[in-house]
């Protein structure tokens, strides 16, 4: 398996205006992430985890420096190019699942494939496969309101993974889940990471998630204070 | 993709059903108000045309100068020949000679003494000729409450209220006491053939209608008429046609200084109807314009709220890889679809309800009780071609505008900000 660099940040700075001053959310971030990584950005609230995730996900632009994602400098991309990057290569998983409530499970997972312009036949095959990965083949017709929190997050994972993205960005994916569901989701992510060689980048301060990470980057006040590789300790319970 | 978005739209009542109902309601109110006001104007003009002004009216100049005084001494003479000329020169119009008069109607007892009497507003019109359109034009057959219309000379009909107030029975003798065209005293006996109710407060108090030949005889106006009314085909008034006709007609007599020369006036030129219609039209413009503006604000706000409510959904769609432009366009398409459906629904309901009121009207006698204006007690709406599209202004344009403005937030906000709103 070839581990090439997918994400590289150089002297990345992000400032937000606050009153008459500016608040520095990220300060001189220099990081790189290879394909197949299972990495977490950890740190207290306000440390800049989500901001970094947003910049890497082409949802926000840096104030200074560069973030190069799959060979593209996100600060140079227009709306359409950013959308294309997200559409083709990135998958997002949110703390609050964010499923589209009026669509059923199948349709929620199908949505990214519609944007890719795939045929109905191919979409159906891929959606069913993604739902099989997350163990929800029997919930195809269910609406989000009919699912438990854990099931909703599994649908969100299926939606993020259905297009087999190179990078999956997960912002506090277990924050709204109980321990059992959290481990279930994390086991599933590890499995998909191995099967698809997608890079998983988490923003988290959940110890359960941290146990699963192979690389932990600690942020404090917008700066990287620690970047270590470790042996994952998946839950054996 | 289109079907996917359409499914979402149909399933989410907040995005489809409720906005459609709001738009339909707004459009319906706009159309109903418009049709109602147009109906009131049309009724006013039509009632005046039928009873008093015609679409055009010919009088002598002297009569026209003081027409409110009904100066029958200045009436048109040699009317039979004049009518033949008019029918030849303007074959499309229906010409109706009339004599307006006032007087006392006296009802004697068995000894010939006055039992009851009251003032009447009289109208002599052609009721007995086979080719006269007057009975149909004024709807006299339908207006009869008791008895029947005059079928022979010497018979009259009077207002039902007048008859009731004076205790007059059908078949009773009534003596008209008035003035002849020459200033002498006119006394003529008639038989009350029936009573009528026009549904027009100004007339229902004390009207008397007789055949014009009887009135010519009673008022010493042989072969004369105070005025000759002309009606365009199908009772459809057209100001341009009427004005052109009047100009041409009057030009023929412009060289004459004779006060007895005929003059033709259009409906708008009589009784200040033109000025009144202009004022009412301006009021309608203001009221309907204000209503459209208010409805536009409401619907714009609905579009705005709908757009703002969906920032979360927008965040997800952007995250999944949809472009801002595509999201914005789909919101506009949705809004257009909702606006069209709501507008069509509102127009169908609005026009249907208006048509109901056009056909059946609404009795509002209290509103014009005591009024001297020639207006029906039953007010009606009228459906015009504009009724079918006037609702589109608030229904479609305002909805689209609201959505477009709300959607601008998609571009102005950082994508990550939409995400934050998604998380809250």
Give the span between the Cα atoms of A123 and B306, in whole angstroms: 30
CA triple A46-A230-A90, angle to 5 deg = 60
pLDDT at A1: 44
Give the span between the Cα atoms of B342 and B24, in whole angstroms: 5
Contact residues, chain A, for B14 at CB < 8 Å:
none
Task: Give the distance from residue B23's alpha carbon to the nearest chain A alpha carbon, in angstroms.
Answer: 22
Residues B164 and B77 in one domain: yes
Query: Of B388, B387, B393, whose CA–CA distance to B298 is shortest?
Result: B393
Contacts of B18 (CB under 8 A, 6+ apart): none
Model confidence at A18, pLDDT cuts 50, 70, 90, reads confident
Q: Please give the distance of CA B417 from its chain centroid, rounded to a whole number.
A: 56
Model confidence at B376, pLDDT cuts 50, 70, 90, reads low
Residues B18 and B63 in one domain: no
Percent of chain B at pLDDT > 90 equals: 45
Contact residues, chain B, for A17 at CB < 8 Å:
none
Question: What pLDDT, in 10s, does the model give residues B165-213?
Answer: 999 999 999 999 999 988 899 999 999 999 998 777 777 889 999 999 9
pLDDT at B303: 67
Contact residues, chain B, for A120 at CB < 8 Å:
none
Question: Do the domain assignments include residue B252?
Answer: no
Asked whether the beta carbons of residue B323 and residue A94 sit closer than 8 angstroms, the reply is no
Question: What pLDDT, in 10s, does the model give residues B281-339?
Answer: 788 788 777 877 777 777 777 767 776 777 777 888 888 888 888 888 888 888 899 88
Ordered domains of chain A (ranges, CATH): 5-229 (3.40.50.300)
Task: Give the distance from residue A103's alpha carbon to the nearest chain B alpha carbon, in angstroms.
Answer: 7
Contact residues, chain A, for B4 at CB < 8 Å:
107, 110-111, 114
Query: Of B345, B351, B395, B344, whose CA–CA distance to B23 is shortest?
Result: B395
List the single residue in A with minimal CA-CA distance to B14.
A102
* DSSP string covering A95-147: TT----TTS-HHHHHHHHHHHTT--HHHHHHHHHHHHHHTT-GGGTT--GGGS
Domain that holds residue B114: 56-231
Each residue of B290-304: b (16+ CB within 10 Å) or e?
Answer: ebbeebbebbbebbb
- Residue A211 dihedral angles phi and psi, to the nearest 5°: -60, -30
Question: Do the domain assignments include residue B182?
Answer: yes
Q: Which of B231, B264, B289 is the last residue of a domain?
A: B231
Contacts of A136 (CB under 8 A, 6+ apart): A105, A151, A154, A155, A158
Residues B363 and B289 in one domain: yes
Asked whether the beta carbons of residue A102 and residue B8 sit closer than 8 angstroms, the reply is yes
Q: Are strands A5-18 and A64-69 parallel, antiparallel or unpaired?
A: antiparallel
Give the span between the Cα atoms of B4 and A102, in whole angstroms: 11
**ipTM surpasses 0.85:** no
Asked whether the beta carbons of residue A86 and residue B320 sit closer than 8 angstroms, the reply is yes
Contact residues, chain B, for A98 at CB < 8 Å:
312, 315-316, 319, 422-423
* B11, B322, B423 member nearest A96 (Cβ): B423
What average pLDDT does the segment A191-218 reach?
A: 92
Q: Which of B202, B231, B260 is the last residue of a domain?
A: B231
Asked if pLDDT for residue A91 goes beyond 80, the answer is yes
Gap between the terminal Cα atoms of chain A: 30
Tallying the residues shown for chain B, one arrives at 424
List the single residue in A with minimal CA-CA distance to B414.
A60
* DSSP string covering A13-33: EEEEEETTEEEEEEEEEEEEE
C-beta of residue B191 within 8 angstroms of C-beta of residue B105: no
Asked whether the beta carbons of residue B422 and residue A80 sit closer than 8 angstroms, the reply is no
Question: Do the domain assignments include residue B226?
Answer: yes
Residues B282 and B408 in one domain: yes
Residues B220 and B328 in one domain: no
What average pLDDT does the segment A203-228 reach?
A: 93
What average pLDDT does the segment B64-69 reach?
A: 89
Structural domains of chain B, count: 2
What average pLDDT does the segment B394-420 reach?
A: 72
Axis crossing angle, helix A149-161 with helix A179-196, rounded to the nearest 10: 10
Query: Residue B340 class from Cβ within 10 Å (0-12 exposed, 13-18 middle, 19+ buried)?
Result: middle
Question: Do the domain assignments include residue B37?
Answer: yes
Question: Do the domain assignments include residue B259?
Answer: no
Asked whether the beta carbons of residue B11 and residue A102 sit closer than 8 angstroms, the reply is yes
Residues B396 and B350 in one domain: yes
Question: Do the domain assignments include residue B246?
Answer: no
Residues B37 and B146 in one domain: no
pLDDT at B424: 45
What average pLDDT does the segment B246-272 reach?
A: 90
pLDDT at B319: 83
Residues B282 and B330 in one domain: yes
Asked whether the beta carbons of residue B318 and residue A86 sit closer than 8 angstroms, the reply is yes
Higher pLDDT, B254 or B216: B216
Question: What pLDDT, in 10s, does the model give residues A34-71?
Answer: 999 999 999 998 899 999 999 999 988 899 999 999 99
Residues B106 and B169 in one domain: yes
Question: For all residues of chain B together, what is the average pLDDT?
Answer: 86
Residues B98 and B72 in one domain: yes
Question: Do the domain assignments include residue B350?
Answer: yes
List the single residue in A with minimal CA-CA distance to B2.
A114
What average pLDDT does the segment B354-372 reach?
A: 72
């Amino acid at each position: 398996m070839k581990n090439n660099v997918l994400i590289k940040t150089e002297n990345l700075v992000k400032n937000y205006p606050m009153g008459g001053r500016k608040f520095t959310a990220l300060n001189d971030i220099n990081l790189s992430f290879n394909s197949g990584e299972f990495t977490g950005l950890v740190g207290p609230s306000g440390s800049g985890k989500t901001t970094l995730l947003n910049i890497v996900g082409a949802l926000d632009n840096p104030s200074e420096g560069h973030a190069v994602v799959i060979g593209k400098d996100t600060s140079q991309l227009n709306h359409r190019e950013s959308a294309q990057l997200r559409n083709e290569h990135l998958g997002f998983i949110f703390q609050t699942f964010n499923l589209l409530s009026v669509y059923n499970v199948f349709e929620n997972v199908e949505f990214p494939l519609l944007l890719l312009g795939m045929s109905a036949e191919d979409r159906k095959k891929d959606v069913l496969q993604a739902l099989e990965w997350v163990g929800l083949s029997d919930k195809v017709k269910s609406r989000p309101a009919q699912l438990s929190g854990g099931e909703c997050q599994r649908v969100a994972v299926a939606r993020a993974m259905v297009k087999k993205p190179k990078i999956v960005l997960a912002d506090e994916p277990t924050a709204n889940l109980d321990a059992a569901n959290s481990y279930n989701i994390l086991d599933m992510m590890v499995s998909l990471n191995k099967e698809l060689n997608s890079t998983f980048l988490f923003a988290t301060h959940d110890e359960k998630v941290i146990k699963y990470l192979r690389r932990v980057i600690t942020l404090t006040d917008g700066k990287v204070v620690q970047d270590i590789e470790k042996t994952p300790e998946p839950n054996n319970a | 993709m289109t079907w996917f978005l359409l499914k979402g739209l149909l399933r989410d009542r907040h995005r489809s059903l409720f906005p459609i109902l709001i738009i339909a309601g707004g459009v319906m109110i706009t159309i109903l108000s418009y049709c109602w006001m147009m109906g009131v104007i049309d009724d006013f003009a039509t009632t005046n045309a039928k009873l008093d002004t015609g679409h055009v009216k010919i009088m002598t100049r002297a009569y026209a100068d003081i027409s409110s005084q009904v100066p029958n001494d200045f009436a048109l003479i040699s009317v039979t020949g004049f009518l033949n000329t008019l029918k030849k020169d303007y074959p499309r119009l229906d010409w109706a000679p009339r004599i307006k008069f006032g007087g006392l109607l006296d009802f004697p007892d068995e000894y010939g003494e006055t039992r009851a009497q009251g003032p009447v507003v009289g109208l002599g019109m052609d009721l007995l000729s086979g080719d006269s359109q007057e009975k149909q034009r004024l709807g006299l057959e339908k207006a009869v409450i008791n008895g029947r219309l005059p079928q022979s000379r010497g018979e009259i009909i009077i207002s039902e209220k007048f008859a009731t107030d004076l205790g007059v029975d059908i078949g009773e003798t009534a003596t008209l006491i008035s003035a002849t065209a020459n200033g002498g005293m006119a006394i003529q006996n008639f038989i009350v053939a029936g009573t009528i109710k026009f549904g027009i407060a100004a007339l229902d108090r004390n009207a008397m209608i007789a055949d014009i030949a009887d009135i010519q005889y009673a008022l010493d106006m042989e072969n004369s008429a105070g005025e000759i009314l002309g009606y365009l085909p199908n009772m459809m008034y057209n100001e341009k046609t009427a004005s052109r006709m009047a100009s041409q007609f009057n030009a023929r007599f412009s060289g004459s200084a004779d006060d007895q020369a005929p003059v033709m006036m259009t409906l708008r030129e009589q009784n200040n109807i033109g000025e009144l219609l202009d004022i009412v039209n301006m009021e309608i413009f203001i009221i309907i314009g204000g209503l459209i503006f208010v409805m536009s604000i409401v619907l714009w706000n609905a579009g705005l709220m709908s757009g703002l409510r969906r920032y979360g959904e927008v965040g997800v769609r952007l995250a999944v890889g949809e472009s801002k432009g595509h999201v914005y366009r789909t919101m506009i398409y949705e809004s257009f679809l909702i606006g069209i459906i709501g507008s069509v629904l509102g127009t169908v309901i609005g026009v249907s309800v208006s048509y109901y009121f056009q056909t059946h009207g609404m009795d509002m006698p209290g509103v014009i009780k005591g009024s001297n204006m020639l207006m029906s007690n039953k007010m009606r709406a009228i459906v015009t071609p504009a009724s079918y599209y006037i609702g589109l202004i608030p229904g479609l344009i305002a909805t689209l505008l609201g959505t477009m403005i709300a959607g601008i937030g998609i571009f102005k906000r950082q994508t990550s900000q939409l995400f934050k709103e998604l998380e809250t």
